[in-house]
Structures are given as structure tokens and as C-alpha cells.
Amino acid sequence: MKNILLAITLFLVLLVSGCATQQNAAETANKGWCEGVKIAFFPGGSEGGSFATIVYNGARLAESDLGADVEYVWSGWNTDKMVTQFKEEIDKNPDAIAMMGHPGEELLGPFIDEAERKGIIVTLQNVDLSEIREKYVDKGFGYAGQVVYDSGLTLGKASAVKFELKEGDEAIVFGLLSEAGRGARTQGCIDGLEEKGIEVSYEEFPKEVNANPDSDEGIAFFKESLKKYPNAKLLITDHGGATAAAPKILAEIGKEPGEIIVTGFDLSAKTVEGIRSGYIGLISDQQPFLQGYLPILQACMSKKYGFAGLYIDTGVGLVDSSNVELLAELAEKQIR
């Protein structure tokens, strides 16, 4: 009888203890379980930019949900500026830095090593640096974004197939081959077209156009580029902001919707309107909102609980006139 009473007593103690633990966990979650963790976050572009704003919105929601203390570092898609800013953030000694991988492993590698030596968690969004990530994955170095080369390859092939381009047809790819990490997607676009027998001409975005595609400089750049290739049937803009700006640019230089096929990257309110108007034929959606939310979550999980880096491919597929209305409302809210 004593043994039975002892067992019942022990069961009740464990039950009460378990309930108290669950209650404490709930209270901690309600307070923001990542409170006090300082994170520097790179949205990549400039404030108000179509792609960078969606990344930023994802990060802001994570900041609100988790309670982290986040500083936002805007770079205007300038890789030299990104490297300089990254060094400056290391000197501030935050708990974590969520970084764009655009400058590449050679430029960022030594500074990532420095950050890791100081105990700063580094994680990436948008462009992966696989060798460095593998080196520090056990310390919370993760990645949220597309497989950039594969993304470009998919769009290049799909553009040729969807619009029934034939072997020998001409296309222009506008991109960023000069950027060690970021340029892989541009190369994928070129390879995808060439696999289908398309003759590809390439134009590199100047830095000022990369930063602001629908500026006067951007319009002049596209106008002069299109003059060089009067027989081009397709242009791919490997740049979310340039894809969003393409309808405005083409209209200003006198091109009608569909006169030249435009495909590119990243869903936004502007690209939705571009698809509706007929100026944009196809885009690859990499769900940039997740590239904002998930790195903040990664940094918090690693700092608070020691979790290793997570690799998350945020690419979801292709969007055109057949499915754009399913996503239009969320795109207008700068979530998709």
C-alpha cells in the first residue's frame, strides 16, 4: 500500500512539474525568447527597393515575433560596400550577422573567419558560399535562398521553351557575371538558353544601374543595349529590380508589350502589373520574404540553443499570366 501511495505521489509531482515547465516555456515565448540577441541584417539593396523591401519585411516580422534586437544595413547592391559594411559590423561585436553572399568567398572569407574567431554567428541569405558554410555549419552558419546557378538555368531553359524560340534565335542576358558569388545565376541563364540553341549576347549591369535600374542611367543603358541587338527576341534581366522596372523602361523607349519578350526574377507588385500588361512574360520566384525571416530565426536558434546551420532552398517555381493572380494580393502587400 505504501508503494502505491508513493507511486501516486511521484506521478502527481511529475505532473505538476511538467505543467509548470510548459507554463514557463509559454511565458518565455510570449516575452520574445530571442530578446537581447543583437543581429546585424543585410537586406542587400536600398531602402524602398522592390526586392530588398520584401526581404526586409520578412526580417522585421521575425524581429517582432522573436524579440531580437536587429540593425538593418543597406548596401545598394554594391559588393564593395557590402564588404566594408561587414567589417564595420564585426567591429561592433553583435551576436550574429545575417549577410548577403554577393561579394563571394575570396572577398568575404577572411572577414567571416574573423567574425567566427570573435564568436559572432554568421549566416547567409540570397547567395550561398558553400565552402565557408560547410566550414562553420556547426556554429550556426546557414543559408536561406535559391541555388543560384540552378535557378538561372531553369529560367533560361523555360524561357526558350515557353516562347517557342528556335535554334539560332537571338537573346540578351543582362546580369552580374563579374560578382563572384552572385554571378552564378547569370551564368545559369546563359547556359540554359545556349542548351536550347539560342544565340546569347551578354550585357553587364553597371554599378549605378544595378543600384537603381529605373533611373535615367538605367533607361539610357537599356536603350543603348537594345540598339546593339535589333534582332533579339528575348531579354532576361537577372535582377529583381530591373525585372520590376522593365515595363517602365520599355515603354519609355517606345517598345510595345510583347514586342520583345522579357523574363526575369522576383515577384513584386510591379512585376505583377508587368505580367498583367504583357511586358513581362515569365519570372522565377525565390520567395524573398523567407530570406528575411529565416536568417533571423537561424541566428536566434543558434545563439540561444546552439543549433547548427540550416540550408533552406526558398525557390518555389515560375510565375506567368496563368498563375500570377493566385499571388497578386500578397505581392501587393510586399510579402510575396
CATH code (residue 97)? 3.40.50.2300
Find residue 199's DSSP bridge partners.
170
Is the pLDDT at 11 greater than 70? The verdict is: no
Are 140 and 183 in a shared domain?
no
Mean pLDDT of the 207-235 span: 93
Please give the grid coordinates belonging to residue 179: 560578382
CA 318 to chain centre: 15
Average pLDDT over residues 214-237: 94
Residue 250 has pLDDT above 60, yes or no: yes
Q: Which domain holds residue 274?
A: 148-285
Residues 71, 167 share a domain: no
Let me know how many helices (H) and strands (E) the chain has, helices first: 13, 12
Q: 281 and 175, same structural domain?
A: yes
Asked if the model's pLDDT at residue 9 lies above 60, the reply is no
Asked which of 39-43, 107-111, 313-317 is least confident by mean pLDDT, the reply is 313-317
**Same domain for 157 and 138?**
no
Question: Does residue 133 sit within a domain?
Answer: yes
pLDDT at 16 over 90: no
pLDDT at 107 over 80: yes
pLDDT at 31: 62
Q: Are residues 208 and 245 in the same domain?
A: yes
Residues 168 and 262 in one domain: yes
Q: Are residues 162 and 138 in the same domain?
A: no
Number of domains in the chain: 2
Domain assignment of residue 19, yes or no? no
Question: Which residues of 13-119 form beta strands (DSSP E)?
Answer: 38-41, 69-72, 96-100
Is 120 exposed, middle or buried, given 0-12, 13-18 or 19+ CB atoms closer than 10 A? buried
> Which residues is 124 bridged to in the sheet?
99, 143
Burial grade of 141 (CB within 10 A; 0-12, 13-18, 19 or more): buried
Residue 126 predicted with pLDDT over 70: yes
Residues 168 and 214 in one domain: yes
Whether 280 and 174 share a structural domain? yes
Average pLDDT on 44-59 reads 94
Q: Which of 285, 301, 331 is the last residue of a domain?
A: 285
Alpha-helix residue ranges (DSSP H) falling in 196-268: 207-211, 216-228, 240-252
More confident: 4 or 317: 317
Report in angstroms the alpha-carbon separations of 124 from 23, 41, 43, 145, 157: 34, 10, 11, 8, 27
Q: Which of 85-99, 239-253, 320-334 has the highest mean pLDDT?
A: 85-99
- 128, pLDDT greater than 70: yes
Is the predicted pLDDT of residue 302 greater than 80, yes or no?
yes
Q: Is residue 228 over pLDDT 80?
A: yes
Does residue 7 belong to any structural domain of this protein? Answer: no
233 burial via Cβ count (<10 Å: 0-12, 13-18, 19+)? middle
Please check the confidence at residue 217 and state whether its pLDDT lies above 80. Answer: yes
The answer to pTM > 0.75 is: yes
Average pLDDT for residues 12-17, to the nearest whole number? 42
Mean pLDDT computed over 125-136: 96
> What kind and span of H or E run contains 312?
strand 311-313
Name the pLDDT band for 72 (thresholds 50, 70, 90). Answer: very high
Instruction: Tell me whether residue 5 is in a domain.
Output: no
% of the chain exceeding 70 in pLDDT: 91
